[in-house]
Chains A and B, each alone.
Chain A
Amino acid sequence: MSETKSLKESLESKLTGIPLSWSEFRSQQRVTVPASNIAVALKALRDAGMDQLIDITAVDMLEYPGATDRFEVVYLLLNTNSGERLTVKTHVNEPELKLPSACPIWFGADWLEREVYDMFGIVFDGHPNFKRLLLPDAFESFPLRKDYPVKGRGERHNFPIITRAES
């Protein structure tokens, strides 16, 4: 518990005057940081001992009851020495779907950010090799958005087939 307090203090000392909202669910600590301060916040948390980035993911809040922001980007952090965890959340809205890359802080963010872009279309500025990860480069939609149908938009059926004669 004291560890969380020191994390809280170190984060708030770096971001004075910025509204941070802390919450807890089943003893998991979460903090919501405004998108404009996310790079400073992540750097401060890394310096406070959160040395491993477990995951980056996003949630499309389009159909979520009571949600006001479109996308929630989630960073799961871990302190490998103390075992303490923290979930950092931030929100981005169209048309400014942009966040600074976490690659300079943890290089493991590389593929995680590319996957978030691949599935949700959120761009990470300053990423060393920014492109789609799982889907083909020519794919136009972002399939994990809520306005993308589960059945797809016919990409699978209209996939270009290269015949032996053409190749």
Chain B
Amino acid sequence: MPLELIDSPDLDAGYREGLWTLNFGPQHPATHTTLRLVLQLDGEMVIGAEPDIGFLHSGFEKLAEVLDYNQYVTIVDRMNYISPMANEIAWHHAVEGLLGIELTPRCKYIRTIFAELMRIHDHLLCTGTCVLDLGGATAFMYAFNEREKIYEICERASGQRFHTGYTRVGGLLYDVTDDWIKMVRDFCKTFPPAYRDFAGLVMKNRIFVERTKGVGVLTKEDAIAGGATGPVARASGVERDLRRDEPYLAYNDFDFDVCCAQGGDCYARFQVRMMEMLESLKIIEQALDNLPSGPVFTSGTGKEGIPDKTEVYRSIEGLIHHFENIMPNRQMPSPKESYYGATESPNGELGYYIVSDGDFKAYRARTRPPSLLHFSLFSRMIKGCMLSDVAAVLGSINIIAAELDR
């Protein structure tokens, strides 16, 4: 007797057409963090994908309204925790834009070095795990070996490996030491051979190339209209980099190229990230060669910046200065205005829209997270791909759920 598999008339139409639904996540090795996809499949081909996000929503933007401009830095580095200091630099870039503070040259250079180290840090993880998700565990280990060195550089400067909380309004928590400069120089020496090993394992690897070329294509038009920025947009041929187009920090002083590709597929995004690491290294070397001396804190009206600890503990003037800057009712006033400050974070345009009502804390601080816009494009990219390509596309757009959900 022939077996009638579809015997219930109230099964949905999709099922009768031979489509099936697959739940992907929230916990899955390829999601890296917590996000969920509901995939509609025809055999192995993805017809539609409905992302379901919000598992890591923690109300960061509400907290921005009760913490002052210096305190909130500890929250922003928990957003994209793959490159924590890039968030801190973006946050204080926006705050300083609102308050109209000009940084000292030394502070600008140190922040630039850290921003570029964070770019390498982020790209190493993204490219490494992208390969890992496609089955290449060795390259991942090569990438993580280098990330460890960057953690140590962060620790030497700020005392923390991960959530550094290193920037302050108008400056940095501590100045860097000669020891730190030597560590960064050593990193610049050891990184290129490690990069060659890593790239050699992957870039021409036939399995990797076949799994990523032509997969998850994002056209230039879709990238622009969909709000894609950073490496994802540049891989689709959008020639835009805020470091060159709206120079901030010390980027005007350095010679570097903006890396673009035309394909718009996973391989193009991978290539752009790989090329950007070398450009970042170029910037770090130039910054180290020309690192200016002088203070890391601005000393304009005296209300921005925190005095040196030796001054605070050894002189009454220093103690008063510290008190005036830290006590909530005596801090620097901010203009009653709104300001949008954006930086080129490793993942794309990371901006903060700050509305101030005159206090030293934000009335409203909106994060413009690149991950959110990129993940909203995911269902367009994955349409028509195979089920096994989901991991490749997810890996190539580098979704960080903590930043996605905030």
Contact = CB atoms under 8 A, between A and B. Distances in A.
B53 A59 contact: no
A91 to B, nearest CB: 13
A133 B137 CA distance: 34
Nearest to A66: B336
B227 A57 contact: no
A150 B358 contact: no
B142 interface: no
A100 interface: no
Interface in A15-72: 25-26, 28, 30, 51-55, 57, 59-60, 63-65
A165 interface: no
A55 to B, nearest CB: 4
A52 B220 CA distance: 12
Given A52-B224, A55-B353, A65-B357, A108 B54 contact: no
Interface in A73-98: 74, 76, 80, 83, 85, 87
Nearest to A67: B357
Given A52-B227, A59-B355, A134-B53, A80 B240 contact: yes
B66 A83 contact: no
Given A25-B338, A55-B366, A64-B357, A108 B61 contact: no
Contacts of A80: 224, 238, 240
A107 B353 contact: no
Contact of A135 (B57, B97, B366): B57
Contact of A60 (B63, B364, B377): B364
Contact of A55 (B358, B368, B377): B368
A26 B353 contact: no
Interface in B354-406: 355, 357-358, 363-364, 366, 368, 372-373, 375-377, 405-406
Nearest to A23: B337
B62 A57 contact: no
B339 A150 contact: no
Contact of B368 (A54, A106, A136, A148): A54
A12 interface: no
A124 interface: no
Contacts of B294: none
A97 B355 CA distance: 21
Given A28-B340, A59-B364, A76 B63 contact: no
B98 to A, nearest CB: 8
Contacts of A111: 372-373, 375-376
A115 to B, nearest CB: 8
B225 A54 contact: no
B59 interface: yes
Interface residues on B, range: 35 or more
A154 B90 CA distance: 33
Contacts of B364: 59-60, 144
A108 B357 contact: no
Interface in B48-92: 53-54, 57, 59, 61-63, 65-66
Which of B63, B229, B340 has the most chain A CB atoms inside 10 A of its CB? B340
A143 B59 contact: yes
B62 A150 contact: yes
A150 to B, nearest CB: 6
Contact of A25 (B62, B339, B342): B339
A144 B240 CA distance: 32
Nearest to B340: A76
Contact of B225 (A57, A106, A136): A106
Contacts of B229: 54
Interface in B233-260: 238, 240, 245-246
B366 A57 contact: yes
B53 A26 contact: no
Contacts of A107: 222, 225-226
Contacts of A65: 336, 357-358
Contacts of B357: 63-65
Contacts of A57: 353, 366, 368
A112 B229 CA distance: 15
Contacts of B336: 65
Nearest to A152: B59
Nearest to B238: A80
A110 B376 contact: yes
Which of B225, B227, B405 has the most chain A CB atoms inside 10 A of its CB? B227
B349 interface: yes
A120 B227 CA distance: 22
Nearest to A30: B338
8 contacts: A51-B224, A55-B368, A65-B358, A107-B225, A108-B225, A108-B227, A111-B376, A134-B54
Interface of B: 53-54, 57, 59, 61-63, 65-66, 97-98, 100, 222, 224-229, 238, 240, 245-246, 335-340, 342, 349, 351, 353, 355, 357-358, 363-364, 366, 368, 372-373, 375-377, 405-406
Given A74-B338, A106-B225, 9 more contacts: A52-B225, A54-B349, A74-B366, A108-B377, A111-B372, A115-B372, A143-B62, A150-B65, A150-B66
Closest 3 CB pairs of A and B: A108-B227, A134-B54, A108-B226
